């Protein structure tokens, strides 16, 4: 991936020098032409194109922002109800993530979402112990985490 990015920047600067256009517009045009060149040469690279990882990262950020807003609304509804009928729960979540940074990112995303907190990560990094302020159906909560945050992290990190 680093090679692809370096190649794209090199093509952008080469375009700037060949066209004698040393402005930001010249660089952007060269960068986009370099990106098109990389797309045409994508079969010669062993790993996926870096742009797909960047797009997956942007998708993860927007997913987190969406979940953050929805969780804030859900917690606000719980707080504003006259009768507290919430069902807090501790549960064990088995993760498919293997790298330390992936597990840290998942734990941080879960903890930063209001109403949930990762209490502990097992020593073998396979299980997260999570507390949810209102989890009527634990299986649904687990499926929600797996289908949102974990899936998005896997799209960023895996080829």
Mean pLDDT, residues 141-154 taken together: 93
- With beta carbons less than 8 A apart as the criterion, state whether 151 and 143 touch: no
Name the DSSP class of 133: S
pLDDT given for residue 54 in this prediction: 87
- Please state, in angstroms and as integers, the Cα–Cα distance from residue 132 to each residue in 36, 40, 68, 100, 158, following that order: 46, 47, 14, 23, 28
pLDDT given for residue 40 in this prediction: 86
Count how many domains the chain has. 2
- Whether residue 76 is found in the same domain as residue 40: no
Q: How far apart are CA 110 and CA 97, in angstroms?
A: 14
- Whether residue 59 is found in the same domain as residue 110: yes
Q: How far apart are CA 127 and CA 97, in angstroms?
A: 10
Which tens digit of pLDDT belongs to each residue from 69-119? Answer: 999 998 888 888 888 788 889 999 999 999 999 999 999 999 998 889 999
pLDDT given for residue 70 in this prediction: 92
- Whether residue 22 is found in the same domain as residue 54: no
Which tens digit of pLDDT belongs to each residue from 15-60? Answer: 899 998 889 999 999 999 998 988 888 888 887 788 888 899 999 9
Residue ranges of alpha helices (H) inside 93-150 are: 100-112, 138-145
- Whether residue 131 is found in the same domain as residue 88: yes
- Whether residue 90 is found in the same domain as residue 151: yes
Residue 148: give the domain boundaries.
Answer: 50-157
Strands (E), the chain: 89-94, 116-121, 127-132
Q: How far apart are CA 24 and CA 147, in angstroms?
A: 40
């Amino acid at each position: 991936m680093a090679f692809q990015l370096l190649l794209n920047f090199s093509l952008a600067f080469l375009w700037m020098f060949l066209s004698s256009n040393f402005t930001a517009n010249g660089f952007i045009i060269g960068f986009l032409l370099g990106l098109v060149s990389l797309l045409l040469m994508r079969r010669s690279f062993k790993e996926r194109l870096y742009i797909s990882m960047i797009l997956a990262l942007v998708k993860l950020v927007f997913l987190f922002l969406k979940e953050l807003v929805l969780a804030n609304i859900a917690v606000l509804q719980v707080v504003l109800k006259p009768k507290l009928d919430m069902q807090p729960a501790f549960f064990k979540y088995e993760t498919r993530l293997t790298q330390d940074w992936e597990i840290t990112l998942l734990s941080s995303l879960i903890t930063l979402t209001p109403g949930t907190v990762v209490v502990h990560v097992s020593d073998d990094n396979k299980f997260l112990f999570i507390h949810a302020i209102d989890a009527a159906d634990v299986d649904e909560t687990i499926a929600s985490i797996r289908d949102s945050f974990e899936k998005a992290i896997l799209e960023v990190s895996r080829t």
